[in-house]
Structure 1
Amino acid sequence: MDSESTVTTCYRHPKVECHVRCTRCERYICPDCMREAAVGHQCPECVKEGARSVRQARTLVGGRVSAVPVVTYALIVLNVLVYLAELARPEVVDRFSMVGAGLVGPDGGHFLWTDPYPGGFSPEGLVGGEWYRLLTGAFLHLPPTEGTFGIAHIVMNMLALWNLGRLVEPMLGRVHYLALYLLSALGGSVLVLLIAPGDSVVGASGAIFGVGAAYYVLARRVGADMGQVNRFMGGLLLWLVVSALVTSWEGHLGGLLAGGTVALAFAYAPRNGRRTVVQVGACVALVVVLGAAAAVKVSELTGGGIPQ
């Protein structure tokens, strides 16, 4: 009789009388602490413990699943903000575009690289130590004053990024997708340096071509219907050819190759404890190869050192 008359209280709220036990730890819990479970109720601590033990869903390449392509949206916003900065201060393009080898005259004018170059001129671009241009150029676009292409440059690129990013980012996960995008941009800039070091190149096209290559690789990896994918890649390759007349085909091809390489490493890395090591190792190796190629080319342009 005494045991039946004993008042039981919630282990989290000792002043609250209750008669329900947690189905996992069997401690008494009050209505405020009850969490609906498959059978009965559980306390908040057991619910948290159970959540930690549940295996988190992962993408094909091992990234965290994300239904909202946040990185794609952020990249679009960043490109648009930079474009507005260009409109407000046009000199931003000359300062941050991808230039491998150029010259700045005494009056601030920009000229093609010559070796040796006239007195009073200073080196510009990667030969001048401005290595940041390898990435910053991928966030710039042609101003409206650049002929018929003008503002269509950023509009077309952002539309392509909007359509492709919403497909590829959920398949990769945010971190993998951002790494792919930046490495594709880097690959495009390095090929520009190797083939056309005197050109001033802007645009996200190289990075977008890399995302397009990733879409193709991932579609094959998951066994998707390749009819539509092949038509898409045909259009992408056609634009690669047409771009030779309008923008920088070197940047597009470099981004395509770099993005395809990264996507292959992501998609076909072994599904075990070494997957992350293989993926990170592939990205680091690509950065080393691209960095070494860029350094060798700049050394050739400057004869081993920037002339004084």
Structure 2
Amino acid sequence: MTNPEFHANPDNFCYRHPGRQSFVLCQRCMRTICPECQTQAPVGVICPECMQDQRRSQTPAQRRAHRRWGARSMTAVGGRPLATYWILAITSAVSILAELPGVGAVIKNVLLFAGAYLYPSLSGLPFEPWRLLTALLVHGGFIHLGLNMLALWMVGQQLEPLLGRARFLTLYLVSGLGGSVAMALIDPAQPTVGASGAIFGLFVALIVIGRHLGGNIVGALVVLAINFVYGFIVPGIAWEAHVGGAVVGALVALVYVRTSGRRNAKFWWIGLVAVIVLVLLVVVAVVPPLLITAGR
């Protein structure tokens, strides 16, 4: 039951519908709003007037992004990049376990990737193709893990809300696959670990999509160039995975850009990305054995 003071206080009722009781506040103007007046935003819920003000203050690039991507976003309520958080949590947990004395070496040996695991008739090793992706879960130490997870957190917060959870996760995994395929093509005997190929794919995708939307991509280009150069000049870094992830990430981003706004867009992007994955698997299954056989 409520007392007369409660009913006399307008803050207990929607400011647009005074007869509707509510305890939810607009996160921008802090006025009470009923469910009909609530619009989900990255910071919570906002009222229709604040939503109009927010849209009026958008840049042309932001408006284009909202028209092309916002209406079909598949991210969680509130725009939180949940797929990014889950990747961070799972990768960090597995990588930390892989650094523990005793069990760490076993975990790394089970999950790392080397092209030799794809060609048992040539290497004598068991056929374990799942290593193409499990290598994303382990890293070469805490610094390697920290740098990759920091980059994932930075890029994921921008890219996942734009693409939606399904497209973002697909981009991450297919870019990681591209990095492993590049390692198998260029240096099949070299074992590798880390999510760097997937991270580079995300970076390049952000640049491709940002350029398409008319955004300022200079900063992202500088960061990407520095990381590419660093990978080439510092020994022990699998630059092959960087290149493979970046190339595949660019291709997937182009698919997203070209299919956005089409009728049956989901059908198109899933089909075209599946073609990219199929091509990668065929190439990695056929090319290295031919090169190894020819070199004998």
Q: TM-score, normalised by structure 1?
A: 0.67
Q: TM-score, normalised by structure 2?
A: 0.69
Q: State how 1:129-144 maps to structure 2 within 5 Å.
A: 129-142=127-140
Code of the residue aligned with 1:129 in structure 2: it is: F
TM-superposition CA deviations, 1:212-262 (whole Å, max 9, x none): 01110111111112332332333233234335x231111111111111110
8 Å CA contact retained: 1:60, 1:267: no
Aligned residue for 1:267, secondary structure, equals helix
8 Å CA contact retained: 2:111, 2:137: no
Shift of 1:299: 4.7
Mapped to 2, the partners of 1:280 and 1:136 lie a distance apart of: 22
Q: 1:198 to 1:61 in 2, by over 3 A?
A: farther
8 Å CA contact retained: 1:65, 1:170: yes
Mapped to 2, the partners of 1:302 and 1:96 lie a distance apart of: 24
Q: Which runs of 5+ in 1 are unaligned?
A: 1-34, 104-112, 118-122, 143-149, 304-308
Q: Which runs of 5+ in 2 are unaligned?
A: 1-12, 21-34, 40-65
Which region of structure 1 is more displaced relative to structure 2, 90-99 or 292-301? 292-301
8 Å CA contact retained: 1:58, 1:64: no
Code of the residue aligned with 1:99 in structure 2: it is: A
Could you say which residue in structure 2 is the equivalent of 1:99? 114
Q: State how 1:1-308 maps to structure 2 within 5 Å.
A: 59=69, 62-66=72-76, 67-88=79-100, 89=103, 90-101=105-116, 123-124=124-125, 128-142=126-140, 150-242=141-233, 245-297=235-287, 299-300=289-290
8 Å CA contact retained: 1:219, 1:229: no
Calculate the aligned-residue CA RMSD, in Å.
3.1
Code of the residue aligned with 1:178 in structure 2: it is: L
8 Å CA contact retained: 2:81, 2:157: yes
Query: Of the two structures, which has the highest relative contact order with CA contacts closer than 8 Å and spacing of 6 or more?
Result: 1
Q: 1:187 to 1:61 in 2, by over 3 A?
A: farther
8 Å CA contact retained: 2:117, 2:127: no
Code of the residue aligned with 1:86 in structure 2: it is: A
Shift of 1:100: 1.2
TM-superposition CA deviations, 1:154-189 (whole Å, max 9, x none): 111111111111111111111110000000000000
Q: 1:226 to 1:86 in 2, by over 3 A?
A: closer
Shift of 1:282: 1.4
Report the identity percentage: 30
Q: 1:84 to 1:173 in 2, by over 3 A?
A: same
8 Å CA contact retained: 2:228, 2:239: no
Which region of structure 1 is more displaced relative to structure 2, 66-75 or 178-187? 66-75
8 Å CA contact retained: 2:172, 2:198: yes
8 Å CA contact retained: 1:57, 1:64: no
8 Å CA contact retained: 1:61, 1:267: no
Mapped to 1, the partners of 2:274 and 2:122 lie a distance apart of: 35
Shift of 1:38: 6.8
Could you say which residue in structure 2 is the equivalent of 1:106? none
Code of the residue aligned with 2:180 in structure 1: it is: S
8 Å CA contact retained: 1:102, 1:198: no
TM-superposition CA deviations, 1:281-307 (whole Å, max 9, x none): 11100111011012214654897xxxx
Q: Which has the higher strand share?
A: 1
Aligned residue for 2:263, secondary structure, equals coil
Number of equivalent positions? 234
Mapped to 2, the partners of 1:94 and 1:301 lie a distance apart of: 26
